[in-house]
Amino acid sequence: MNRQLLFLLSIIIILVACKKPKDEKVQTFRYSNPNAEMTSENLQGTSSDETLTDKKPKTVNKGKVNRNLTFEDRKGLELPAKLKDRSENMLKKQGFAVSYNNKYNCPNYVAWNLNSKRLKGNARRTKFEEDTKVAKGNRVQWYDYDGSGYDRGHMCPAADNKWNQDATNETFLMSNICPQVHNLNEGVWNDLEQKCRSWAWKGKDLYIVCGPIFDSKHPKTIGKSQKVRIAVPDRFFKVVLSASDETTAIGFIYPNANTNRPMRDYCVSVDSIEAVTGIDFYHILDDDLENIVEAECNPGKWGIP
């Protein structure tokens, strides 16, 4: 074999030896939602190089979008999309729905429709009770809050269900309750509840979702029993959509603390709450309309000074 051929073979061998192996695919998971739990459901059907995100980025249609909703369009509007990244036990009540979290023993969220008809009636407040629809191992008792330093904070208020005594009674089930700092429960959070009722009295057809926000993966817990521990939220959110006339929405985030700022200071867009909670609100809306109303935050439009 001549020298020229040997030289060419040497070059080929060197090139093959130096070629970098193809990069291995890396399994990557991203959760911007602090409430998220890794479950077997998340892993099924997930490719090794797939990145999980809360939602796809939204694009806002700048053209003319119809903001009027028919009554047919509004059915189930208050219910967020099914949660897949955490424990969820759906509990349907007469006046509201609860997404119950068996890990934290409190709601992921509570959702309801509010209008003036639901505010009319003679239903009376009652006492707190366990929710027998919740598994015994996750069933909170009214006395689990005793001595904790936290109020039994309603998510769906009793006063939003004056239309029916059974509906009012169900707001006192512990599945509708979260630990709230007293000054928040009796103060600015109560102010927001009253504000929602004032909108309803003025004829607005409202679709409301509220619930806790946990900024830590290992939140503080309370409870008389060591078996049933109730997670204490760091913050609370509420989103409100009005389907009367021109559809519009607004969001609120309150710290679970002694706070007494003007309501405007707690106003945020629905989009920003989705980013924090990982919950997809008002998902049955047409995409263009959903993108517009969830991006806006206009307190003045809601009569919030």
Rg of the chain in Å (alpha carbons): 25
Q: Would you say 232 and 222 are in contact if contact means Cβ atoms under 8 Å apart?
A: yes
3-state SS assignment for residue 31: coil
CA distances from 268 to 110, 116, 128 (A): 19, 25, 32
Q: Is 288 contained in some domain?
A: yes
Q: The CATH number of the domain where 210 resides is what?
A: 3.40.570.10
Q: Is 252 contained in some domain?
A: yes
* 66-107 confidence digits (pLDDT tens): 999 999 999 999 999 999 999 999 999 999 999 999 999 999
Q: Would you say 82 and 88 are in contact if contact means Cβ atoms under 8 Å apart?
A: yes
Confidence of residue 226 (pLDDT cuts 50, 70, 90): confident
Q: Is 9 contained in some domain?
A: no
Q: Is 44 contained in some domain?
A: no
* 103-112 confidence digits (pLDDT tens): 999 999 999 9
Q: Count of alpha carbons within 13 Å of 35, Cβ hemisphere only?
A: 34
* 49-67 confidence digits (pLDDT tens): 322 234 445 655 556 899 9
Q: Distance between CA atoms of 74 and 69, rounded to whole angstroms?
A: 7
Residue 45: its pLDDT value, please? 31
Query: What is the 3-state secondary structure of 76-95?
Result: CCCCCCCCCCCCCEEEECCC
Domain of residue 119, residue span: 61-302
Q: How many domains does the chain have?
A: 1
CA distances from 135 to 46, 103, 130, 139, 212 (A): 30, 12, 11, 6, 21
Compute the average pLDDT of residues 192-221: 97
Q: Is 124 contained in some domain?
A: yes
Q: Provide the annotated active-site residues.
A: 154
pTM of the model: 0.81
**Which residues 6+ apart lie within 8 Å of 45 measured at CB?**
none
- How many residues are recorded in the chain? 305
Q: Is the pLDDT of residue 23 over 50?
A: no
Q: Would you say 160 and 192 are in contact if contact means Cβ atoms under 8 Å apart?
A: no
Q: Is 236 contained in some domain?
A: yes
Q: Which amino acid is at 284?
A: I
Q: Is 31 contained in some domain?
A: no
Q: Is 199 contained in some domain?
A: yes
Q: Distance between CA atoms of 72 and 152, rounded to whole angstroms?
A: 36
Instruction: State the DSSP H helix or E strand holding residue 28, giving kind and residue range, or none if neither.
Output: strand 28-29
**Nearest to residue 259, comparing CAs of 154, 178, 182, 157?**
182
- Would you state the torsion angle of the CA atoms of residues 38, 39, 44, 50, taken in this order, to the nearest 10 degrees? -10
* 26-45 confidence digits (pLDDT tens): 222 222 333 333 233 332 33
